Amino acid sequence: MMTPPKTNKSIVSLSGDHPHEECGVVAIFAPNEDVARMAFYGLFALQHRGQEAAGIAVSDGHAIRMYKDVGLVSQVFTPANLAPLTGNFAIGHNRYSTTGSSTARNAQPFLLETRHGPVAVAHNGNLINSADLRQKLLENGVGLFSSSDTEVIAQMLAGAEGSSTFERLKNAMLSWKGAYSLVILTIDGVFVARDPWGFRPLSVGLLPSGGHAAASESGALHTLGCVGIREVRPGEIIALSNHALRVEQAIPTASPTALCTFENIYFSRPDSFWDGRSVHQVRQNLGKALAEEAPVEADVVIPVPDSSIPAAMSFSQTSGIPYDDGFIKNRYIGRTFIEPSDALRKQGVALKFSVMGEKVRDQRVVVIDDSLVRGNTISPLIQLLRDAGAKAVHLRITCPPIPYPCFMGVDMGTCDELIAHSHSVEEIREQIGADSLVFLPLEKMMSAIGRSEGYCNACFTGCYPLPVPTGVVKTGFETCIDDIHVMGR
């Protein structure tokens, strides 16, 4: 029996070659149920969307109670701190920061006392005009505790005109530009809203108990046992109360819409639906299109787990090249790509992947990945394959190169950090050490998705659906406030 080379046990950080999502949100109306525990399980199902912080707020009709802290859902919540969160209404949030740093004071939901009573707000997305809105609040004497645009949303909702939450939310939405899928908790109700462009996902469904729930992904609603699931339409407000949904088209849906392509490519769970399509099926379509676009003589097809697995299997079926598992993912390591800084990306993530040498030794390997953003981690993966004995490594990516940053709630980095902004495909291939490199062209990607318009592809094309600010960084609202301890509220 041959002794496997020592490099088979080598491990590598894999965190910088994928875009990073912002948040996951959940909302619950379930009379006589443990809504806090339901929100916990909803957030647990959305953990992949954000790992920096988590929070749950609950109303019992008399008061709103909230607990939030930095960390994973399973780290933040315990039976002891969930027990006081009793009521019929709840909202919850997982956070990855795109506006505001990774500190406890930016954890969500945000809970405010207003002239209309308490209100809690959680948000997935990014307002591109948050700097102007924030400045107007400050000029009007509104004190801001955090550096998050979600607090701006909460403060504007608190000060909005209108005789009902529906009216105040509708009036506030007129001022917000950019991406927002919102869950809002008042003393006697839960409300959800989605921006008119439809950037970020949001779905609502009927609970077995007769109540309703909403979440960033339909997969989380399935976890809660929901049926009759549908997506919240762009520009729509829905109230979850009294065993029936109250629905209002607050703002006309933008034409065209600007749904995020990366929900299909990478972010969403494969069991979710996005724009009425199965995410798993779309990823299979992408793999098929990639095999037809970039045939290659090879011996084995392997994915970079997990989101690339459906595409790799379809690539294999279409090309006739056998599929196998070449990379093994440590399931007890969190999705460490969520860590938001380069310094953190380079530390503490070296236990995430290893190579199965017997699967790639003396083989011509096709590696399928969903995206290549910074290019700072795929090179070590390719080197691991070569160290394990691979004769050739051909990299295939299920989307086009990414030369432009996102301003709508996806942390892809600045132009200087995006390898495709300053390098050609051939230069990228040379830098990462692949024998060949092919990205799926934009038109082939959209054909695989099944739409020719209605999606935001600005990170590929530089054509943004809205005018975007320049020189903006996600920590641009940081102040001299010392965030010592604001957790566990």
Q: Which residue has tokens 């997506």? A: 231
Measured between alpha carbons, how far is 359 from 363 in angstroms, rounded to an integer?
8
Count of all residues that appear for the chain in the document: 489
**Quick check: is 23 catalytic?**
yes
Give, as one character, the DSSP assignment of residue 14: -
Look up residue 161 and give its amino acid: E
Residue 452 is which amino acid? S
Separation between Cα atoms, residue 19 and residue 21, nearest integer Å: 7
d(CA 439, CA 441): 6
Q: What is the DSSP letter of 401?
A: -
In this structure, are residues 361 and 389 in contact, taking their beta carbons and an 8 Å threshold?
yes
Phi, psi of 300 (to 5 degrees): -155, 145
Cα angle 245, 251, 254; round to 5:
115
d(CA 41, CA 406): 30
419: CB partners within 8 A, 6+ apart: 372, 373, 374, 375, 376, 428, 431
* Strand 436-439 relative to strand 392-397, pairing: parallel
What's the token pair of residue 130? 């948050």
3 state SS of 272: coil
Q: Identify the helix (H) or strand (E) that includes residue 476.
A: none
- Coil, strand or helix: which one is 174? coil
CA distances from 385 to 8, 16, 226, 366, 420 (A): 9, 18, 43, 11, 23
33: alpha, beta or left? (left if phi > 0; alpha if psi -120 to 50)? beta
Q: Which residues are catalytic?
A: 23
